[in-house]
Structure 1
Amino acid sequence: MDSHSVPVAPKATSNQACGIPVPVGPKVLLQSCQQQAVPEAPCVPYGVVICPGSASFPHGPETVAQRWLMAQRLAAFPDFTWEVKANDRAYHKQFKKRVAFCLTRKKYEDNTIKTAKYNALTFLPLNLYEQFHRLANLYFLFVILLQTVPEISTLPWFTLLLPLSCLLLLRGLRDLIDDIVSSPSVHWAGNPRRGPVGLFFSCSFSWKKWRDICVGDIICLRKDSFVPADLLLLSSSEPSSLCYVETADIDGETNLKFRQALLATHQELVSEASMAAFDGKVTCEEPNSRMHSFIGTLEWRGEKYSLDTEKILLRGCRIRNTETCYGLVIYAGLDSKIMKNCGKIKMKKTKLDRLMDRLVILIFVMLVITSFCLAFAAGFWAVKFQVEHSYLSSLYVGTSPAEQAFFTFWGFMILLSIIIPMSMYITFEFVYMVNSYFIDWDLEMYYPAKDMPAKARSTSLNDQLGQIEYIFSDKTGTLTQNIMTFKKCCINGIIYGTSEWKQVSMGSWGRLTLKSCEVSLAQRLAFCSVSFLAQWDPEPWRGPLGATTVQIIVMSYK
């Protein structure tokens, strides 16, 4: 197989479901089925999938209407050309994709992600490009260029280049420190939950770093750990192969969501030997940014199983209330859905920076007007008095009044350029840096419960603190800190607790007996309060997959 080619499904095949030869493909299938009458039919489930290149649809619809609806749905999605083979790294390494012209790169990304803004090669040009987006730096550079002209220069040009270089150096070092401090590797270095994961390699699990994960690997995740890549859930320690995840880092929701593996993989993949023999093949859509959409199929042992979002663990999720779970890497690194949703890093300007840019424009316009007026006056003086008082204009011997006015204009531009002081911007850099240290040292912002002090991850946005104009909020019914402590309750007028309660109306409770009221409360507490008990196992893959004990808190009336 050519290393630069990608497997593509056959263009067409024969299928008699519509009574005519129908090519396999959403667009052609849609055109073919539109020629026939489409009767009323129930909607096709979202998980219905066509396997590319297949002449039959084992899990597909039977009627023309269902085929038409399915073709409409698949026409909105890209071709299913993303193929993942379990426990086969060599298979994925042979595929390449074209980047530009004759340049190619590997199709399947590894799990290495670099979120740093600069590197050794791009720091100098990129930082200078960003710094000269500040109008003040362009203004100072413009003045230095004027100083290089001997006819209008007042000082050697390098006398202004030195302070400008110091200003650029200070800002560049500050940007570099911010980039290093804000790097995820710094924040995650001491966090074991974002640390090594159990990677299945050479017929056994071993602890590996996130960057060692590749597409097609089988990994083991334990409770409270973060998902390192987009995974297909294969099995878990729960009896029904459920896996509870928290997506707070993705969508901000703290409520738990559950994912469930296929019954076939949950029952078969129960040991290291069975996982080593697992050779399933996943065919799905290309990497995309749709967080709540996934369509694919798993082909294993001659059977095909449809896949949807309920069987996928996204990178950034956190495993909750599940002892262990096992997954097959589908998308890794920059191909993961959360990274596809990350936009490009943009230059940030504070309100103070934008205000300073506007002031620089205003002052520069005033400087040009003032210099023009002075140059006009110099030209008028040359016309009136140059002949009579030639000794006063010895520098402009042999020049016309217009030429004298021209040179005078640029001369005054240099003389009056100090109206925008460069020292003020150098002072700003020191103020920003020192102020960030004061934020780090502020004991009033220390959180003793988690031993977490305040940390200024950016030293260039300090003046943005407190600059809030609008607050958009919604009411979701979530209690503060999600902590609810029992204080008191009143059952049919009888208070249980230490606080007093003033009865206003008996309402419907007045028709119930005391015993029935207490039983009703006990039933609601029993079915609305669920806790999960789990035991910590440093090597969860040793031995058979155990089930997490689930205990329901039951209050009974005696």
Structure 2
Amino acid sequence: MARTDEDNYNLHGLEDSVPLINGSRGTSRASSNDGDPANNSFDQQRYIHPGFASSSRYPSNAISNAKYSPLTFIPIILYGQFKFFFNLYFLLVALSQIIPVLRIGYLSSYIVPLAFVLTVTMGKEAMDDYHRRKRDAEANNEQYDVVDRSQNISSKDLKVGDLVRIHKDQRVPADMVLLTTSEHNGETFIRTDQLDGETDWKLRIACALTQSISIDRFSDILVTASAPEKSIHNFLGKLNLEDSSVPLSVDNTLWANTVLASGTAIGIIIYTGTDTRQARNTSKAGTKVGLLELEINNLSKILCACVFLLSFGLVAIGGFGKDWYVNVMRFLILFSTIIPVSLRVNLDMGKSVYAYQIEHDKTIPDTIVRTSTIPEDLGRIEYLLTDKTGTLTQNDMELKKIHVGTVSYAGDAMDEVSEFIAGESSGGARNRREIGQRVRDIVTCLAVCHNVTPLFEDDEVSYQAASPDEIAIVKWTSTVGLSLYKRDRTSLTLHHSSSNSSLCYDILHVFPFNSDTKRMGVVVRDKTKEELWFFEKGADTVMSTIVHQNDWLDEEIGNMAREGLRTLVIGRKKLSPTLYDEFVKKYHTASLSMVDRDSDMQTVVDDYLEHDLELLGLTGVEDRLQNDVKPSLELLRNAGIKIWMLTGDKVETARCVAVSAKLVSRGQYIHSATKIYSRDQALDLLEYLRHKPDACLLIDGESLAFVLQYYEDLFMEVATKLPTVIACRCTPQQKADVALLIRSKTRKRVCCIGDGGNDVSMIQAADVGVGIVGKEGRQASLAADFSVTQFCHLTKLLVWHGRNSYKRSAKLAQFIIHRGLIISICQTVYSVSSALEPIALYQGWLMVGYATVYTMAPVFSLVLDKDVDEGLAKLYPELYRELTLGRSLSYRTFFVWVVVSIYQGTIIQGLSQLFVGVESVLFNKLVTISFTALLLNELIMVALEIITWNKTMVLSEIITFLLYVVSFPFLGEYFDFDYVLMFKFYWQATIIIAAALIPPWIAKALRRRLKPPSYAKVQQI
């Protein structure tokens, strides 16, 4: 029982988006001379007996998670870099220097910066791929005992049909059918956390035919297996041995990458390589591009247009000569620094800093950044889609209430249940005796109907199960006097604490819980009374039609749901031997079908078992809220983030949790929309909500699907204006569809957060996916962009780290553009003053050093700046709302920087030429004062932009200035040292710098005083 009736784990939501590893499916065909019953491709039903496979028939079992090959490494890297316009532009500029007529200055001044960017990127990617290949090699070379070959074989050389012996704590190398185990009953446990993220152990059972025979006879078996598929919870197969045939299900399998947790086991390989469930459910994470990078890419296109217009304009002013187009190209190259090649590498390095700060924040321990390309998007979130169970709640279950028809027990009243179980309240009034019997019946059913296995270690008992609900129920039956003592595949023993006696049952059939049936049943034989019983528990939506008619069930389900409890309906049915024998015969026949097996088996269960069950009662399990959920949701709502809760739970439970978690404000009206099956109903709902913008919408999954089918645009128009939306009874794919719909219709940034495998589709569909490491394992965490351990950590991730990442990157990007633009303006002024000749003002090392040694550290130190303290960011979450408007990097701020750059570049170069002159004999003197003023201007501009200083920033300024002074003796090729020794150099440089800086500083100070930004107002408060 994966979960009772909350969102249920499955991988089907990923089926449309999961690519393959190491090859494609459906291309290899079986040869016609293998002697098999049919000539099948490996995409069809297959027949397997030990040792029959050929290496060419099925995929290799070698694992390859490498992103690149020697042939594809460079092309893929180059494509990833040059799909961005500003990188492509600089590549074309660098390539143009190969043409002699277009060459300006030294080739190195254009090639070196580009080569640096590519080298850093290639080095990082090469190292990552090296580690991937190293991990692959370790897995591929792991040795396995192949029984039929009587030798150890590397994992990569294993083939379909090999009989492999697996030892405790050893990884399963391929998908296998379990044939025998070291336990006499054929049972073993596996750990599946690396496959499905769930941390509990799973029980697996060897095929009954092969568990009881010697290994020598394994060569006579024939396994029929269905075609490879993705679902790790389904398998259709059949095993034949001589005249006997038994069905195979997922309980008889060992999937690749699971780990044997107990004993030893022998299995036969049925799928290898890309056919395994692990490979078919593995997606290569796509590279997400942040909104900030897209905005910068658009700005770079504007800069490119400006460069072209400027170059063409200068040529036009000078008159179109014979080779005017060559001059246009030369000007384009001269002004290429307007689009700085270092922009991308600086932004990437900044992202690494943000990721480091997030992962080393002690107030949000164990937070992991899995996608380092989008930390700035954490500061731009406008919609948060959240799961309920395990996300807003703890997924830590405790049975709080049971109802037996006329009376319910909760809190201190549970002591009376213990008395009934102990038999101390059997006497008394007839009504009380009847109640006591009903209580004993429901407790017995709860103690028997489950998939929990007790594990004893050092006199301590622990429980293993796929569902925390089941563990909570079994723990509760133990506290009231009926403990689970022993459980295996065929039997179950309960311990009656008051009488110190045992109740023994034979387990004849188990019908596991799944998201389709939403119920779990078991057929047992009571050894004491020799009675056959069918016990079942499940969601009210399905159980209400299976149990006898009654007049209290619906009302009590609603009452418990309003208390925030997860409900299960409990029923039973006594079976006659005749009915049971007939059921077994029909069920076995259906289980051997290789077509529609599951539906055929379910039909038999429906016909013989699942009708007219005696209603024993109702249980209510509490799932407590996560720590600090209420203040976290309130803070996020005040930050301007609209929060939608998407859950698979019942309407009333979802409503109750939304109210208790303060997702819905006190007194706020909640409009419920359920069972909408007509277009008129859907239209009425939307028209009503259009006039109730303050109401919250609570809608079930079926109604949501119907409304979206006919009124998708209208629904999004209305729903996005509501304070919150709660969607219950949602499938995993519906969650993902809602996320994609909000992204496409609103163009807003969407964050999705969840903790289970059923949330993976939603998390991957979001702009920013956040996974919580919880009771359901790590799959959501592994699939997410950011992994946290508690929901409340999300507030700091967004309001603090998201704020800083966005503000810092926005400032860094604009300053780097300013740094490139101002030097281009200086070049423009010089070109205009020198008869419009395309001659480089700053050449060679000056161009390279300007963007690296002389300015890089101070400019990059902006990634450590902060405009407010963390306490103020949390105290005034309204500050976050401004970030979503994108004002930190907009066309307005961009053009302000352009104006500042034009002014400062004109002043620096214009005054330098005024003081020195433009004659060719004075060129070195002109470059000396112009470059010095330019460099000092940039260092001071960085200082003026910094809001909160730290030691790193101070040192970067000082050290960079000293580096420039120290490097002077080595720049004789460009500078006039005699001029530097003159006093007039210093007063002229001072005037130039003052003229360039004071007016922009005054304008900034006046604007801050007349219209201060919000963070400045907060600081004043």
Bin for the TM-score computed over the shorter chain: 0.5 to 0.7
Asked whether 1:171 is paired with 2:121, we answer: yes
CA spacing shift, 1:78–1:169, aligned 2, 3 Å: closer
DSSP 3-state at the match of 2:495? coil
In the TM superposition, residue 116 of structure 1 has moved relative to its aligned partner by: 1.5
DSSP 3-state at the match of 1:329? strand
Partners of 1:524 and 1:284 lie apart in 2 by 36
DSSP 3-state at the match of 1:421? coil
Residue of structure 2 in register with 1:20 after alignment = none
Residue of structure 2 in register with 1:523 after alignment = 444
The one-letter code matched in structure 1 to 2:328 is F
Asked whether 1:328 is paired with 2:328, we answer: no
CA contact 1:136–1:357 (8 Å) conserved in 2: yes
The one-letter code matched in structure 2 to 1:163 is P
CA contact 1:248–1:254 (8 Å) conserved in 2: yes
Partners of 1:166 and 1:160 lie apart in 2 by 11
Residue of structure 1 in register with 2:49 after alignment = 85
Partners of 1:187 and 1:124 lie apart in 2 by 22
In the TM superposition, residue 429 of structure 1 has moved relative to its aligned partner by: 4.0
CA spacing shift, 1:186–1:463, aligned 2, 3 Å: farther
The one-letter code matched in structure 1 to 2:292 is L
Partners of 2:357 and 2:242 lie apart in 1 by 63
CA spacing shift, 1:294–1:548, aligned 2, 3 Å: closer
- The one of 201, 210, 228 equivalent to 1:265 is 210
Residue of structure 2 in register with 1:117 after alignment = 67
Q: Map of 1:280-359 to 2, 5 A cutoff?
A: 280-284=221-225, 287-289=228-230, 294-301=235-242, 307=248, 309-317=250-258, 323-343=263-283, 346-359=286-299
The one-letter code matched in structure 1 to 2:107 is W
CA spacing shift, 1:527–1:281, aligned 2, 3 Å: closer
DSSP 3-state at the match of 1:532? strand
CA contact 1:526–1:552 (8 Å) conserved in 2: no
DSSP 3-state at the match of 1:533? strand
Q: Which runs of 5+ in 1 are unaligned?
A: 11-49, 54-73, 96-105, 383-395, 448-453, 498-508, 537-546
CA contact 2:359–2:365 (8 Å) conserved in 1: no
The one-letter code matched in structure 2 to 1:216 is G
CA spacing shift, 1:217–1:446, aligned 2, 3 Å: farther
In the TM superposition, residue 149 of structure 1 has moved relative to its aligned partner by: 4.0
Partners of 2:364 and 2:170 lie apart in 1 by 28
Give per-residue Cα distances to partners, 1:269-299, cap 9 Å, x unaligned: 4xxxx25753434354554556566555544
CA spacing shift, 1:280–1:441, aligned 2, 3 Å: same
CA spacing shift, 1:478–1:237, aligned 2, 3 Å: farther
Asked whether 1:131 is paired with 2:81, we answer: yes
- The one of 321, 324, 330 equivalent to 1:411 is 330
Partners of 2:114 and 2:494 lie apart in 1 by 70
In the TM superposition, residue 372 of structure 1 has moved relative to its aligned partner by: 3.2
Partners of 1:178 and 1:353 lie apart in 2 by 23
CA contact 1:170–1:429 (8 Å) conserved in 2: no
Give per-residue Cα distances to partners, 1:468-488, cap 9 Å, x unaligned: 554445556999565446899
Partners of 1:113 and 1:152 lie apart in 2 by 50
CA spacing shift, 1:83–1:175, aligned 2, 3 Å: same
Partners of 2:375 and 2:391 lie apart in 1 by 31
Residue of structure 2 in register with 1:424 after alignment = 343
State TM-score, norm by structure 1: 0.60
In the TM superposition, residue 144 of structure 1 has moved relative to its aligned partner by: 1.8
Partners of 2:381 and 2:258 lie apart in 1 by 30
Partners of 1:121 and 1:9 lie apart in 2 by 36
Partners of 2:227 and 2:203 lie apart in 1 by 24
Asked whether 1:52 is paired with 2:38, we answer: yes
DSSP 3-state at the match of 1:216? coil
Asked whether 1:158 is paired with 2:108, we answer: yes
CA spacing shift, 1:224–1:195, aligned 2, 3 Å: farther
CA spacing shift, 1:328–1:349, aligned 2, 3 Å: same
The one-letter code matched in structure 2 to 1:132 is F
Residue of structure 1 in register with 2:147 after alignment = 201
Give per-residue Cα distances to partners, 1:154-201, cap 9 Å, x unaligned: 323332101110111011112223334566829999xxxx99686243
CA spacing shift, 1:203–1:423, aligned 2, 3 Å: closer
Q: Which runs of 5+ in 2 are unaligned?
A: 1-28, 403-407, 416-428, 459-487, 500-1021
DSSP 3-state at the match of 1:328? strand
The one-letter code matched in structure 2 to 1:314 is W
Give per-residue Cα distances to partners, 1:178-237, cap 9 Å, x unaligned: 334566829999xxxx9968624368797x764453322223445676533111121345
Residue of structure 2 in register with 1:144 after alignment = 94
Residue of structure 2 in register with 1:360 after alignment = 300
- The one of 419, 428, 432 equivalent to 1:512 is 432
Residue of structure 1 in register with 2:514 after alignment = none
Asked whether 1:6 is paired with 2:31, we answer: yes
In the TM superposition, residue 366 of structure 1 has moved relative to its aligned partner by: 2.8
Residue of structure 2 in register with 1:227 after alignment = 172
Give per-residue Cα distances to partners, 1:47-77, cap 9 Å, x unaligned: xxx9538xxxxxxxxxxxxxxxxxxxx9x99
CA spacing shift, 1:534–1:185, aligned 2, 3 Å: farther
Partners of 1:485 and 1:520 lie apart in 2 by 20
In the TM superposition, residue 353 of structure 1 has moved relative to its aligned partner by: 3.0
The one-letter code matched in structure 2 to 1:84 is I
- The one of 215, 218, 221 equivalent to 2:160 is 215
The one-letter code matched in structure 2 to 1:170 is V
CA contact 2:400–2:411 (8 Å) conserved in 1: no
State TM-score, norm by structure 2: 0.35
Partners of 1:548 and 1:296 lie apart in 2 by 20
Give per-residue Cα distances to partners, 1:420-449, cap 9 Å, x unaligned: 1223334334334444444554444445xx
The one-letter code matched in structure 2 to 1:85 is H
Partners of 1:109 and 1:210 lie apart in 2 by 13
DSSP 3-state at the match of 1:235? strand
Partners of 1:466 and 1:246 lie apart in 2 by 38
DSSP 3-state at the match of 1:326? strand
CA spacing shift, 1:471–1:457, aligned 2, 3 Å: closer
Partners of 1:313 and 1:217 lie apart in 2 by 14
The one-letter code matched in structure 1 to 2:115 is S
Give per-residue Cα distances to partners, 1:297-335, cap 9 Å, x unaligned: 544436555545554333244556x65443111112223
CA spacing shift, 1:132–1:279, aligned 2, 3 Å: farther
CA contact 1:297–1:305 (8 Å) conserved in 2: yes
CA spacing shift, 1:351–1:178, aligned 2, 3 Å: farther
CA contact 1:261–1:311 (8 Å) conserved in 2: yes
Q: Map of 1:57-68 to 2, 5 A cutoff?
A: none
Partners of 1:165 and 1:312 lie apart in 2 by 52
Partners of 1:181 and 1:467 lie apart in 2 by 33
The one-letter code matched in structure 1 to 2:255 is L
The one-letter code matched in structure 2 to 1:145 is L
Partners of 1:477 and 1:153 lie apart in 2 by 63
CA spacing shift, 1:294–1:139, aligned 2, 3 Å: same
Q: Map of 1:361-510 to 2, 5 A cutoff?
A: 361-379=301-319, 399=322, 403-404=323-324, 406-447=325-366, 456=369, 459-465=372-378, 468-474=381-387, 482-484=395-397, 491=409, 494-495=412-413
